């Protein structure tokens, strides 16, 4: 991750003359791209082509083609915006992507061999490359255009008459961050040709550029602790974002959120690691950053999140030398992932002992206030309850059955609640399905996993425990229905 900012201007054109060859699909200027893989284009260029199709419709069609075939999204707005606004006077972006015909390149000479140019504004990206913040298209008004498929053709005057739509497709490729590719069939060839639709190479280029977190190995993050290490051989920011000069290491995690909650991720460093925590959406749009906690140079991230998949990244600064000088950009760390929410947590995933499938739904949580709010993080002396709730499969309601409660500790121990209410070591060789309680099932069964408990009572000051709850029927005593995502308890 970087600290400093800058802004720059780049121009890329499509030409009717041959340019030098490049390798297969080419990411444009240093991997600069739109945060979140989306931007708005204003397509209402006035005028109609000789064949009767308006420039505005052709422009919108070209943008739609990128939307349909790639991970990128152009929000298409049928309004006009001046593409040259900001370039000629003071060079400040208006953050609006316009397009139009012009006889010059916003004041600079537009050669007759150049069909169109795309002009960019960029700003620094948190991860070290650049975000495109504006891209405008200027079509060469000195040349003739129509809208048609197939080979290039001449107009009635015998001069070349270029297909506007394939030029628009090409320039929109620059808008979203692609460079030229002259080695394979591609709309992004530097020279216009008979191709008039997006090619696989164009599509691959966009999907690499906006492939996001899939460019690095990633693992699922759950509530509780996660030990990690930034070290030689790790993925680098440069690989993650496909460009830029940031070679710092990055660990990438996915975090699935099932309901609105406040998310907390604290990093504890074991050595001299100067970590940075970043929370992003699936397209690596940064949502929250935690740099360091005052005094000890370890980050603590807090964010209010809605349901969906999030990306959590552990990174360092690409150049150190700040208030935490002396720390390094490699080393081990431990994340504490916790939450607070007003309601019980829906527990994702279903499992069973014998492969049976149920329509049961499981939820649970840790509460310090008798069930008004839930969290997974408590101090050793705080008293809390662990509550589980099962919406019993309608087909199982009214039947006699049993409840099971298990705890898997961060030390790797599996405990189960016995009929007298104590958690004891699980002995599957003696009792495969360790019954805690027997009930005739209603629609909703509430389970008291732990009641009015404090870790200090049993001399524990720091532990992570994953609780699982399940149920089965007396008529099928070896089958147990339970969930995948645990009810986590973090004592620290
Ligand atoms: Zn080009």
Q: DSSP per residue over 128-145, as a string?
A: SSEEEEEEEEEEETTSEE
238 C-alpha vs ligand 1 centroid, how far in Å?
A: 24
Q: What is the mean pLDDT of residues 267-293?
A: 84
388 C-alpha vs ligand 1 centroid, how far in Å?
A: 59
461 C-alpha vs ligand 1 centroid, how far in Å?
A: 62
13 C-alpha vs ligand 1 centroid, how far in Å?
A: 4
116 C-alpha vs ligand 1 centroid, how far in Å?
A: 8
User: Confidence class of residue 346 from pLDDT cuts 50, 70 and 90?
Assistant: very high
196 C-alpha vs ligand 1 centroid, how far in Å?
A: 14
Q: Which of 205, 193, 204 is nearest to 149 (CA)?
A: 193
Q: What does the CA dihedral 36, 38, 39, 45 come to, rounded to 10 degrees? A: 170
62 C-alpha vs ligand 1 centroid, how far in Å?
A: 15
167 C-alpha vs ligand 1 centroid, how far in Å?
A: 9
Q: Where are the alpha helices (DSSP H) in 183-335?
A: 200-209, 237-240
12 C-alpha vs ligand 1 centroid, how far in Å?
A: 5
172's tokens: 């929109």
188 C-alpha vs ligand 1 centroid, how far in Å?
A: 6
Contact 35, 286 (CB under 8 A): yes
117 C-alpha vs ligand 1 centroid, how far in Å?
A: 7
Q: What is the mean pLDDT of residues 98-121?
A: 89
Whole-angstrom distance, CA of residue 18 vs CA of residue 359: 63
Contacts (Cβ under 8 Å, ≥6 apart) of 398: 440, 441
195 C-alpha vs ligand 1 centroid, how far in Å?
A: 14
Q: Which of 275, 170, 194 is nearest to 228 (CA)?
A: 275
174 C-alpha vs ligand 1 centroid, how far in Å?
A: 7
What pLDDT is attached to residue 302? Answer: 95
Q: Which of 491, 223, 473 is nearest to 356 (CA)?
A: 473
110 C-alpha vs ligand 1 centroid, how far in Å?
A: 14
Task: Determine how many CB atoms are found less than 10 A away from the CB of residue 23.
Answer: 9
130 C-alpha vs ligand 1 centroid, how far in Å?
A: 19
152 C-alpha vs ligand 1 centroid, how far in Å?
A: 17
100 C-alpha vs ligand 1 centroid, how far in Å?
A: 16
324 C-alpha vs ligand 1 centroid, how far in Å?
A: 44
Q: CA quadruple 39, 44, 45, 50: dihedral positive or negative?
A: positive
Burial of 305 (0-12, 13-18, 19+ CB in 10 A): middle
360 C-alpha vs ligand 1 centroid, how far in Å?
A: 56
191 C-alpha vs ligand 1 centroid, how far in Å?
A: 8
Q: Which residues, listed in sequence order, are joined to residue 132 by a DSSP beta bridge?
A: 122
30 C-alpha vs ligand 1 centroid, how far in Å?
A: 15
The length of the chain is 492
User: Confidence class of residue 14 from pLDDT cuts 50, 70 and 90?
Assistant: low
What pLDDT is attached to residue 8? Answer: 40
Q: What is the mean pLDDT of residues 310-333?
A: 78
Q: Where are the alpha helices (DSSP H) in 95-184?
A: 164-175
What pLDDT is attached to residue 23? Answer: 31
Average pLDDT, the chain: 88
pLDDT at 488 over 90: yes
User: Confidence class of residue 106 from pLDDT cuts 50, 70 and 90?
Assistant: confident
120 C-alpha vs ligand 1 centroid, how far in Å?
A: 13
15 C-alpha vs ligand 1 centroid, how far in Å?
A: 7
pLDDT per residue as tens digits for the range 418-449:
999 999 999 999 888 999 999 999 999 999 99
pLDDT at 26 over 60: no
Whole-angstrom distance, CA of residue 11 vs CA of residue 1: 26
Whole-angstrom distance, CA of residue 461 vs CA of residue 9: 56
**Residue 341 or 35, more confident:** 341
20 C-alpha vs ligand 1 centroid, how far in Å?
A: 12
Check whether domain 8-210 has CATH 1.10.1060.10, yes or no: no
User: Confidence class of residue 241 from pLDDT cuts 50, 70 and 90?
Assistant: confident
16 C-alpha vs ligand 1 centroid, how far in Å?
A: 10
191's tokens: 């020279």
49 C-alpha vs ligand 1 centroid, how far in Å?
A: 22
User: Confidence class of residue 67 from pLDDT cuts 50, 70 and 90?
Assistant: very high
Residue 75: strand, helix, or coil: strand
192 C-alpha vs ligand 1 centroid, how far in Å?
A: 9
125 C-alpha vs ligand 1 centroid, how far in Å?
A: 24
pLDDT at 295 over 80: no
Check whether domain 215-341 has CATH 3.40.220.10, yes or no: no
**Residue 4 or 185, more confident:** 185
Q: Which residues of 202-229 are buried (b: 16+ CB within 10 A; e: fewer)?
A: bbbbbbbbbbbbebbebeebbbbbbebe
Whole-angstrom distance, CA of residue 39 vs CA of residue 47: 24
Side-chain-side CA neighbours of 292 within 13 Å: the count stands at 17
Q: Which residues, listed in sequence order, are joined to residue 483 by a DSSP beta bridge?
A: 350
334 C-alpha vs ligand 1 centroid, how far in Å?
A: 46
Residue 39: strand, helix, or coil: strand
CATH topology of domain 345-491: Immunoglobulin-like (2.60.40)
118 C-alpha vs ligand 1 centroid, how far in Å?
A: 8
pLDDT at 25 over 80: no
pLDDT at 310 over 90: yes
What pLDDT is attached to residue 88? Answer: 65
| Residue 472, H or E segment | strand 463-473
147 C-alpha vs ligand 1 centroid, how far in Å?
A: 19
Give me the residues near ligand 1 (ion), CB cutoff below 5 Å: 12, 14
175 C-alpha vs ligand 1 centroid, how far in Å?
A: 10
47 C-alpha vs ligand 1 centroid, how far in Å?
A: 24
Q: pTM of the predicted model, to two decimals?
A: 0.76
Domain boundaries, the chain: 8-210, 215-341, 345-491
Q: What is the mean pLDDT of residues 279-301?
A: 81
202 C-alpha vs ligand 1 centroid, how far in Å?
A: 12
Q: What are phi and psi of 414, to 5 degrees?
A: -110, 125
């Amino acid at each position: 991750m970087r600290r400093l900012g800058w802004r720059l201007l780049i121009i890329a054109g499509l030409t009717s003359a041959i340019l030098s060859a490049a390798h297969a699909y080419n990411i444009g200027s240093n991997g600069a791209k739109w945060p979140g893989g989306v931007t708005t284009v204003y397509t209402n260029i006035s005028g109609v082509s000789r064949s009767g199709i308006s420039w505005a419709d052709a422009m919108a069609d070209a943008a739609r083609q990128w939307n349909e075939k790639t991970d990128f999204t152009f929000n298409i707005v049928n309004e006009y915006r001046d593409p040259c606004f900001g370039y000629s006077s003071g060079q400040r972006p208006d953050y609006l992507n316009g397009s139009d015909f012009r006889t010059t390149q916003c004041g600079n000479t537009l050669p007759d061999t150049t069909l169109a140019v795309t002009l960019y504004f960029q700003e620094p990206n948190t991860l070290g490359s650049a975000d495109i913040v504006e891209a405008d298209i200027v079509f060469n008004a000195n040349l003739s255009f129509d809208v048609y498929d197939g080979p290039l053709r001449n107009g009635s005057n015998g001069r070349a008459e270029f297909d506007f739509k394939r030029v628009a497709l090409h320039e929109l490729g620059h808008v979203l961050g692609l460079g030229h590719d002259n080695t394979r069939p591609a709309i992004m060839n530097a020279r216009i040709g008979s191709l008039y639709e997006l090619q696989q190479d164009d599509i691959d280029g966009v999907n690499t550029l906006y492939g996001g977190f899939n460019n690095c190995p990633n693992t699922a993050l759950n509530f509780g602790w996660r030990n990690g290490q930034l070290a030689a051989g790790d993925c680098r920011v440069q690989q993650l974002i496909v460009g830029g000069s940031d070679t710092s290491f990055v660990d990438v995690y996915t975090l699935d959120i099932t309901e609105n909650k406040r998310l907390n991720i604290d990093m504890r460093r074991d050595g001299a690691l100067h970590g940075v925590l970043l929370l992003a959406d699936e397209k690596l749009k940064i949502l929250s950053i935690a740099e360091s906690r005052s005094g000890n140079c370890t980050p603590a991230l807090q964010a209010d999140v809605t349901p969906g998949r999030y990306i959590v990244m552990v990174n360092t600064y690409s150049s150190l030398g700040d208030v935490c000088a002396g720390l390094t950009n490699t080393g081990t760390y431990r994340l504490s992932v916790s939450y607070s929410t007003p309601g019980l947590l829906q527990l994702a995933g279903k499992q069973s002992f014998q492969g049976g499938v149920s329509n049961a739904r499981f939820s649970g949580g840790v509460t310090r206030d008798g069930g008004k709010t839930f969290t997974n993080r408590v101090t050793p002396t705080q008293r809390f309850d662990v509550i589980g709730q099962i919406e019993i499969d309608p087909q199982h309601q009214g039947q006699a059955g049993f409840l099971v409660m298990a705890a898997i500790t961060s030390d790797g121990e599996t405990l189960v609640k016995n009929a007298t209410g104590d958690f004891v070591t699980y002995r599957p060789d003696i009792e495969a399905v360790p019954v805690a309680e027997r009930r005739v099932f209603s629609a909703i069964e509430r389970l008291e996993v732990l009641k009015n408990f404090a870790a200090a009572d049993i001399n524990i000051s720091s532990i992570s425990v994953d609780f699982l709850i399940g149920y089965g029927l007396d008529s099928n005593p070896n089958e147990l229905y339970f969930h995948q995502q645990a009810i986590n308890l973090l004592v620290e």
